[in-house]
């Protein structure tokens, strides 16, 4: 089989490798499509994400869809939850499997991800989709699950004011979810084509970061989602949020550091919630939301590349010239 393996910063090589061995309670999946996420771009451009450092050639990719080849779901089109919690630690025992510190995760650390033609994955983490479901939309179900979990953490009330700082794919999904809850959304994004996308997703207004102080309605937003990971992202969110409001930190910053002006958030009495992946129920609810049309995934993929052009896909995703970049693996 073919696989795209990261050997070092910017060094992604496609080669033929042996197919992975079968394992108990796992199914063999023919990977159809992989979406490139911001965390994948950290690996590609930095050789690390947070305190995890590339120490061996690794297959990236955790936004996955495919067709099951073996096991009880053989023949089914599936979305794939990329996180495998240990199931034994106190965190898992409390029901917080998405916070498991011993988690295996596709395309992270010692676990190869989806940029390979076949993947062996726990059967219980495969979610049946309609036959023939578009691979690109199937790959978007993972970021949609993250967006659903982020909305859960926001405690957003019906009819509230919401802000979204950073209008990449997860930001655009959060706009759709917030609008579906009846919120009025102000989007903040430096790139004009992504501001246009934010309005298409349902934002009432989409402004350049320099316009944030003028974008506040009433006394600010009840909830602001910081999705950019930019150095000034929290400052923008802090300017937009109302006193007593909540900021949900979704974006992953470069260099594993983020900062903010303490007095800005302290004097407003702001609550800061941090997103770690998603719960299993968030993934399942995301599938239902997409299936019912509440969230429209059909227009978010702007670039598609074959596996042999995976390195080019990463370059395009890094340039942020479109929205979602997808690699069609098979």
In this predicted structure, which of 53-67, 180-194, 208-222, 304-318 has the lowest mean pLDDT?
A: 208-222
Where in the chain is CATH 3.90.180.10?
2-140+300-328
- The 10s digit of each residue's pLDDT in 14-54 is 999 999 999 999 999 999 999 999 889 989 988 888 788 88
Q: Determine the pLDDT at residue 38.
A: 86
CATH superfamily to which 2-140+300-328 belongs: Medium-chain alcohol dehydrogenases, catalytic domain (3.90.180.10)
CATH superfamily to which 144-274 belongs: NAD(P)-binding Rossmann-like Domain (3.40.50.720)
Closest alpha carbon to 169 in 299, 2, 305, 314: 299
Q: Three-class SS string for 188-221?
A: ECCCHHHHHHHHHHCCCEEECHHHHHHHCCCCCE
Selected residue with higher pLDDT from 26 and 264: 26
Burial class (CB in 10 A: 0-12, 13-18, 19+), 158: exposed
Q: Which residues contact 242 (CB under 8 A, 6 or more apart)?
A: 161, 218, 219, 220, 221, 222, 268
Neighbours of 3 (CB within 10 A): 27
Closest alpha carbon to 119 in 27, 239, 53, 186: 27
- The 10s digit of each residue's pLDDT in 189-229 is 999 999 999 999 999 999 999 877 654 455 799 999 999 98
- H or E element that contains 83: strand 83-84
Region of residue 220 (phi > 0: left; psi between -120 and 50: alpha; otherwise: beta): left
Q: Which residues contact 305 (CB under 8 A, 6 or more apart)?
A: 312, 313, 316, 325, 326, 327, 328
Interior/surface letters 251-268, b for 16+ CB within 10 angstroms, e for the rest = bbbeeeebebeeeebeeb
**Does the pLDDT of residue 139 top 80, yes or no?**
yes
Alpha-carbon span 146 to 164, nearest angstrom: 14
Where in the chain is CATH 3.40.50.720?
144-274
**Does the pLDDT of residue 145 top 80, yes or no?**
yes
Q: Three-class SS string for 234-303?
A: HHHHHHHEEEEEEEEECCCCHHHCCCCCHHHHHHHCCEEEECCCCCHHHHHHHHHHHHHCCCCCCCCEEE
- Interval 132-141 mean pLDDT: 95
- The rounded percent of the chain whose pLDDT value lies above 90 is 82
Residue entry with tokens 């090589």:
13
């Amino acid at each position: 089989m073919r696989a795209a393996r990261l050997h070092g910063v910017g060094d992604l090589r496609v080669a033929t490798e042996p197919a992975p061995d079968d394992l108990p309670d796992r199914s063999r999946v023919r990977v159809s499509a992989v979406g490139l996420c911001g965390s994948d771009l950290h690996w590609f451009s930095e050789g690390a994400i947070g305190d995890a450092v590339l120490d061996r050639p690794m297959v990236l990719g955790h936004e996955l869809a495919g067709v099951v080849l073996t096991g009880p779901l053989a023949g089914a089109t599936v979305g794939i939850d990329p996180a495998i919690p240990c199931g034994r630690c106190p965190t898992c025992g409390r029901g917080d499997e998405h916070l498991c510190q011993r988690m295996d995760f596709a395309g992270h650390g010692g676990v190869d991800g989806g940029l390979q033609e076949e993947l062996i994955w726990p059967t219980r983490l495969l979610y049946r989709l309609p036959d023939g479901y578009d691979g690109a939309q199937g790959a978007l179900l993972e970021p949609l699950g993250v967006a659903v979990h982020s909305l859960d953490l926001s405690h957003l009330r019906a009819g509230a004011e919401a802000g979204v700082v950073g209008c990449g794919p997860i930001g655009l999904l959060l706009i759709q979810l917030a609008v579906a809850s009846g919120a009025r959304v102000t989007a903040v994004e430096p790139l004009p084509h992504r501001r246009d996308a934010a309005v298409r997703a349902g934002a009432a207004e989409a402004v350049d970061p320099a316009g944030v102080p003028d974008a506040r309605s009433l006394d600010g937003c009840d909830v602001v989602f910081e999705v950019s990971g930019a150095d000034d992202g929290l400052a923008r969110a802090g300017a937009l949020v109302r006193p007593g409001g909540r900021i949900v930190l979704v974006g992953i910053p470069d260099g594993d550091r983020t900062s903010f002006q303490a007095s800005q958030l302290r004097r407003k009495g702001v609550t800061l919630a941090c997103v770690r992946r998603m719960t299993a129920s968030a993934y399942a609810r995301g599938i239902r939301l997409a299936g019912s049309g509440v969230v429209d995934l059909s227009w978010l993929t702007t670039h598609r590349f074959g596996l042999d052009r995976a390195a080019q896909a990463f370059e395009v995703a890094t340039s942020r010239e479109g929205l979602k970049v997808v690699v069609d693996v098979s």
